[in-house]
Amino acid sequence: MITISLCMIVRDEEEVLGRCLDSVKKAVDEIIIVDTGSVDGTKAIARKYTDKVYDFVWVNDFSAARNEAFSKATMDYQMWLDADDVVPEKELEKLIGLKKALDPNAYDMVAMKYFTHFDEQGNPILKTTRERMMKREKGFTWLDPIHEHIPLALNSLYTDIEIHHKKNHKEGDQNRNLNIYQALEESGKELTPRQQYYFARELKDHAMWAKAVYYFERFLNSGKGWVEDNIATCYNLSICYNSLGDHDKILPILTKSFLYDSPRAEICTETGYYYKRAGQPGVALKWFDLATKLGEPESAGFILWDYWGYIPNVEACVCCYELGDFESAKRYNEQAALCKPDSKAVEINRAVLASR
């Protein structure tokens, strides 16, 4: 059976660190905590679980901190978690099962599902796949100061094990990531295509639409992006263009995504919105309907989960209502209810349709 070093970087995480470690401690053989400057009780909590707690001077570089944590590992595989991550109980059982069954000669890296955002009812709304465990002897190194990553190895094992990112209730520095990218930009250093992509995402999240467009377009035009990031960029650009009022650019960028791979529900749904805003509910319905039929997403990139069932069914319901097809509207609405039984939109649609 393989052994696992859990390698974490933390700062002011007293509210959630114990929850994280309790959720995973049964599956790991060593816990390493690198603290980057806590002023609360984080280190005291960490010492309840391990004596391997180290200080690291923060240099605005997440990769540097993670590499420091990895350098302390002594077990077969290095595993990372953030302090506000949780390994649900059934996923912990899978992880322990993997630990018993994994052939270290076959795989240098293990990837796991990562659910990073949830709605008010606890339903996942954003999912991706991340490198999660790496063979220590291979010397994998974290790259990029923000949105750090280790490129996936060719002999990676993709599992269905889920890690849930459960943010704490404290309001952290909402501008931290943006500030790091802006500092990189101001230093005069040329951003890599991947850095351009993630900088653009930060700009979009801060409603800095024009500058987000600039970096998204630079990334896409570089021709060096990962296919999933290319498709996500087409989606994000459509949002930015709409916010800027550049409506004539929306449809071309959405359809450009089809050059990279098969249709994604996010793209089809946004195309539906384009025609809905143009006052063409019949055309919009076709795109919303297509989004409902794409099945389970297989992408390893970021997946906006509500687009894969809930949102396009709700929107198809609205289109059918506008077209006077109330039976189809009801069918789509009930399909949306299967995705989110407690949806307020579903309840409102039911009430309106009942009156018909």
The CATH number given to whatever domain includes residue 229 is 1.25.40.10
209 and 161 in a common domain: no
In whole angstroms, what is the distance from residue 229 CA to residue 122 CA?
26
DSSP assignment, residue 25? G
pLDDT at 172: 64
111 and 249 in a common domain: no
Tokens of 243: 């916010």
159 and 17 in a common domain: yes
183 and 97 in a common domain: no
268 and 128 in a common domain: no
Residue 170 belongs to a domain? no
295 and 228 in a common domain: yes
Residue 156 belongs to a domain? yes
Looking at the 3D structure of the chain, how many domains does it have?
Answer: 2
CATH classification at residue 126? 3.90.550.10
CA nearest to 124, candidates 334, 309, 315: 309
Last residue of a domain, one of 146, 165, 184: 165
Residue 129, strand partner residues: 113
349 and 219 in a common domain: yes
pLDDT at 297: 81
Q: Identify the H or E element spanning 66.
A: helix 62-71
pLDDT at 169: 61
The string of pLDDT tens digits covering residues 45-88 is 999 999 999 999 999 999 999 999 999 999 999 999 999 999 99
196 and 72 in a common domain: no
Collapse the DSSP code of 156 into the 3-class scheme (helix H, G, I; strand E, B; otherwise coil) and give the result. strand
Between strands 303-304 and 156-165, the pairing is unpaired
Last residue of a domain, one of 122, 145, 165: 165
- Domain span at residue 330? 176-354
pLDDT digits (tens), the chain, 356 positions = 999 999 999 999 999 999 999 999 999 999 999 999 999 999 999 999 999 999 999 999 999 999 999 999 999 999 999 999 999 999 999 999 999 999 999 999 999 999 999 988 888 899 999 999 999 999 999 999 999 999 989 999 999 999 999 987 666 678 989 999 999 999 998 999 999 999 999 999 999 999 999 999 999 999 999 999 999 999 999 999 999 999 999 999 999 999 999 999 999 999 999 999 999 999 999 999 999 999 888 888 999 999 999 999 999 999 999 999 999 999 999 999 999 999 999 999 999 999 98
91, 161 in Cβ contact below 8 A? yes
Distant-in-sequence, close-in-space partners of 166: CB < 8 Å, separation ≥ 6:
16, 19, 84, 85, 86, 118
Around Cβ 136, how many Cβ atoms within 10 Å? Answer: 19
Last residue of a domain, one of 134, 165, 196: 165
Residue 109, strand partner residues: 134, 156
Residue 171 belongs to a domain? no
Residue 139 belongs to a domain? yes
Residue 336 belongs to a domain? yes
95 and 58 in a common domain: yes
Four-residue CA torsion sign, 50, 78, 57, 170 = negative
Helix axis angle for 281-292 and 265-277, nearest 10°, is 170
The string of pLDDT tens digits covering residues 209-221 is 999 999 999 999 9
260 and 216 in a common domain: yes
pLDDT at 171: 60
288 and 215 in a common domain: yes
Residue 145 belongs to a domain? yes
Helices H / strands E in the chain, number of each: 14, 9
277 and 240 in a common domain: yes
